[in-house]
């Protein structure tokens, strides 16, 4: 439960720092699903792991681009790419925090159970 909360908060933080709208966040989720389940065009490397990074980025960029119709094309593109990068950075930071928590859990488990087992 804590991992899900951390992932959500990190993604929200990344989106907020980059100025992403709800459209960008929804596009990120759709892109994540498409990238994870392999519905994006096949890449010559990486598979679902690369799709989990490329999918949210592309989804956020498309979502932001569709939302920002009041700006000129160049400004829309820059804003959309900035939002996509912010959301992906937030997601990566959340995943790193989750990895550290998982590693800490394993270490605590081994430290607390090793002495009774060894002797």
Domain of 51 in residue numbering reads as: 2-118
Instruction: For tokens 């804003």, name the residue.
Output: 79
pLDDT in tens, 25-65: 888 888 877 877 776 655 566 666 677 778 888 888 998 88
Task: Give the Cα separation of 92 and 10 in Å (integer).
Answer: 8
CB of 76 closer than 8 Å to CB of 98: no
Domain count across the chain: 1
Statement: the pTM of the whole predicted model exceeds 0.85: no
Average pLDDT value for residue range 14-19:
81
Question: Which has the closest alpha carbon to 10: 82, 90, 86, 85?
Answer: 90
pLDDT in tens, 71-116: 888 888 888 899 889 888 888 888 899 899 999 999 999 998 887 7
CB of 7 closer than 8 Å to CB of 99: no
Element (H, E) at 50: helix 48-67
């Amino acid at each position: 439960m804590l991992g899900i909360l951390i992932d959500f908060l990190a993604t929200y933080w990344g989106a907020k720092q980059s100025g992403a709208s709800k459209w960008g966040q929804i596009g990120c989720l759709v892109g994540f699903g498409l990238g994870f389940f392999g519905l994006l065009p096949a890449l010559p490397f990486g598979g679902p792991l690369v799709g989990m990074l490329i999918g949210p980025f592309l989804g956020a960029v498309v979502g932001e681009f569709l939302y920002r119709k009041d700006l000129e094309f160049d400004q829309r593109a820059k804003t959309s790419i900035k939002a996509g990068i912010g959301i992906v950075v937030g997601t990566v930071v959340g995943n790193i925090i989750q990895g550290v928590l998982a590693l800490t859990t394993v270490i605590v488990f081994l430290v607390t159970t090793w002495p009774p087992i060894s002797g």
